[in-house]
Chain A
């Protein structure tokens, strides 16, 4: 690995916090980005010679601030640009400056930066794109590839989104506790969107989207370090880690969906699972349950089962019931019905589905689950009808292929019986 590659990684790692601090300083997104870019250029010059600084974030913030000042001076033609040695490294004498940038500032800076990206007038995909560009520092072509659009289209989207958030006056004062909690929950929602954008991809597009999942987890861990007492942040991070731990097993070589029951659990990443379980244990100690914690607890029960047959469906049903109370939605109820089918049989689950039908029109999974339950109940004609409806609303080739496989199975069963 070349020195430049290591520096590149260090710059990426430091970017979210450094950008947050620079935004507070300049109160302007473009100026903050420009300053960060300049600091990165100087890092590439200085670090190979002098070695990386002890505190990369502080170095980038201070050098970025100075460089931007230089830029202003240069434009005013008042001063010559100082020599490179002036910004080469933070010596111990500059220690007190570093101390000014303590963790308390960083955490609100980063939160503010992420919160800006969650502007309510931006569609969800633009919130994510903006966060990837500004906070994570992904290039426009990288983001365009992840969203399967052209570079030009993505550039336009990000420019528009930036304009919109730039017009908003950014409140720079330290937020109070309720406001901070509100921001955190908005930011958590965007991180989960970002993760799902990467996770829901299938087939040929799946591999280019893995970075979205990685970035979401990286930011979640960063927030978790800055806000260690937030059980829902623990829950969210655990949830993403648990889902991500299955990514190698959930698609087959052709990119088709592999159901949980058919997945090779040997492919699940045990490191991610272990980390998630540790986070979840920490979260539950607080006794302040929330939707992310409950969803993580459900995913954890799957992760803990050595085989599909060992899954604790009774506990999963309880957790979905808890989730229904915390965050009522027909999709959650549909998931509870799947657990009910395992615990009390398909007939009980089908009765639940009948009650949900009007709330989930045109929902792929609804018809998929309904078809599977009817097939289990030995009602193949009605099952076929449900699968056909699922096919009609399938959003991806992988979804359609999965339903066709179910129909094939149904047909074979019928032939064997007939």
Chain B
């Protein structure tokens, strides 16, 4: 099963990180993703631009284009990981590993994927 691990966190806090703090988090994430890559379980990884660059298309009878991201939550989607996991348990465990990178209070949304292109690399 393929899982997407979606990273939610407070954008205002993440934007307050210094470049060094930011790099420190990325380095810790790299430790996890490097291992996943060695195991042949890592698909595309993306870091998204700030939500200020987002545009939302609202579907309905007539489509409406809105400025800003979808969802009125306190947190923002800042990126996602695409990871091969044998089970939901393993996806949760992987997300926990990733969560060690910073002590902020963000969340990871875990969701099975139906389709992915390109296919994740296999070792």
Residues on A facing B (Cβ under 8 Å)? 1, 3, 5-6, 9-10, 12-14, 16-17, 51-56, 58, 103, 218, 221-222, 224-225, 228-229, 234, 237, 274-275, 278-279, 282, 285
Bitwise, B14-29 to A at CB < 8 A (1) or not (0) is 1111100100100000
The interface residues of chain B lying within 8 Å CB-to-CB of A225 are 11-12, 51-52, 68
Pick from A14, A52, A229: contact of B12, CB below 8 A.
A14
A170→B105 CA distance, assembly (Å) = 34
Q: Of all chain A residues, which has the CB nearest B56?
A: A228
Q: Contact check, A221 vs B15: say whether CB atoms are below 8 A apart.
A: yes
Per DSSP, chain B at the interface is mixed
A103→B69 CA distance, assembly (Å) = 14
Pick from A5, A54, A56, A274: contact of B13, CB below 8 A.
A56
Q: Contact check, A9 vs B67: say whether CB atoms are below 8 A apart.
A: no
With A225-B68, A228-B67, A279-B53 already in contact, the answer to whether A6 and B102 are too (CB < 8 A) is: yes
The interface residues of chain B lying within 8 Å CB-to-CB of A52 are 103-105
A51→B66 CA distance, assembly (Å) = 35
Q: From residue B54, how far is it (CB to closest CB) to chain A in Å?
A: 9
The interface residues of chain B lying within 8 Å CB-to-CB of A103 are 72
With A225-B52, A229-B67, A237-B52 already in contact, the answer to whether A53 and B13 are too (CB < 8 A) is: no
Q: From residue B46, how far is it (CB to closest CB) to chain A in Å?
A: 13
With A3-B103, A228-B67 already in contact, the answer to whether A275 and B12 are too (CB < 8 A) is: no
B50 at the interface (CB under 8 A from A): yes
Q: Contact check, B49 vs A275: say whether CB atoms are below 8 A apart.
A: yes
Q: From residue B123, how far is it (CB to closest CB) to chain A in Å?
A: 31
Pick from B24, B55, B65, B104: contact of A10, CB below 8 A.
B104
The interface residues of chain A lying within 8 Å CB-to-CB of B72 are 103
Please count the residue pairs between chain A and chain B whose beta carbons lie under 8 angstroms apart in the complex. Answer: 76
A224→B67 CA distance, assembly (Å) = 10
Residues on B facing A (Cβ under 8 Å)? 10-18, 21, 24, 49-53, 55, 65-68, 72, 74, 102-105
Q: From residue A319, how far is it (CB to closest CB) to chain B in Å?
A: 22
Q: Contact check, A222 vs B53: say whether CB atoms are below 8 A apart.
A: no
The interface residues of chain B lying within 8 Å CB-to-CB of A221 are 11, 15, 50, 52
Q: Contact check, B103 vs A218: say whether CB atoms are below 8 A apart.
A: no
Q: Of all chain A residues, which has the CB nearest B24?
A: A1
The interface residues of chain B lying within 8 Å CB-to-CB of A279 are 52-53
Pick from B17, B21, B50, B105: contact of A53, CB below 8 A.
B105
Q: Of all chain A residues, which has the CB nearest B25?
A: A1
Q: Of all chain B residues, which has the CB nearest A224?
A: B52
A217→B11 CA distance, assembly (Å) = 13
Q: From residue B36, how far is it (CB to closest CB) to chain A in Å?
A: 23
20 contacts between A and B (CB under 8 A): A9-B16, A10-B13, A13-B14, A13-B15, A13-B16, A14-B10, A14-B13, A17-B12, A53-B105, A56-B13, A103-B72, A218-B12, A221-B11, A225-B51, A228-B66, A228-B67, A275-B49, A279-B52, A279-B53, A282-B55
With A51-B105, A56-B105, A275-B50 already in contact, the answer to whether A13 and B67 are too (CB < 8 A) is: no
Q: Of all chain B residues, which has the CB nearest A220?
A: B52
Q: Of all chain A residues, which has the CB nearest B20?
A: A1
Q: From residue A26, how far is it (CB to closest CB) to chain B in Å?
A: 22
A225→B49 CA distance, assembly (Å) = 13
15 more A-B contacts (CB under 8 A) besides A56-B13, A229-B68, A282-B53? A10-B10, A10-B16, A10-B104, A12-B16, A13-B14, A13-B15, A14-B12, A52-B103, A56-B10, A218-B12, A225-B51, A228-B66, A228-B68, A278-B49, A282-B55
The interface residues of chain B lying within 8 Å CB-to-CB of A55 are 74
The interface residues of chain B lying within 8 Å CB-to-CB of A282 are 53, 55, 67
The interface residues of chain B lying within 8 Å CB-to-CB of A285 are 65
Q: Of all chain A residues, which has the CB nearest B65?
A: A285
Pick from B17, B51, B53, B65: contact of A9, CB below 8 A.
B17
A311→B58 CA distance, assembly (Å) = 37
What 3 A-B pairs come out closest when comparing CB atoms? A228-B68, A13-B13, A13-B16
Q: Of all chain A residues, which has the CB nearest B107?
A: A54
Pick from A1, A53, A58, A218: contact of B16, CB below 8 A.
A218
Q: Contact check, B13 vs A9: say whether CB atoms are below 8 A apart.
A: yes
Q: Of all chain A residues, which has the CB nearest B76?
A: A225
A227→B105 CA distance, assembly (Å) = 25
With A52-B103, A218-B16, A229-B67 already in contact, the answer to whether A5 and B21 are too (CB < 8 A) is: yes
Q: From residue B68, how far is it (CB to closest CB) to chain A in Å?
A: 4
Q: Of all chain A residues, which has the CB nearest B21?
A: A1
Q: From residue A15, how far is it (CB to closest CB) to chain B in Å?
A: 9
The interface residues of chain B lying within 8 Å CB-to-CB of A10 are 10, 13, 16, 104
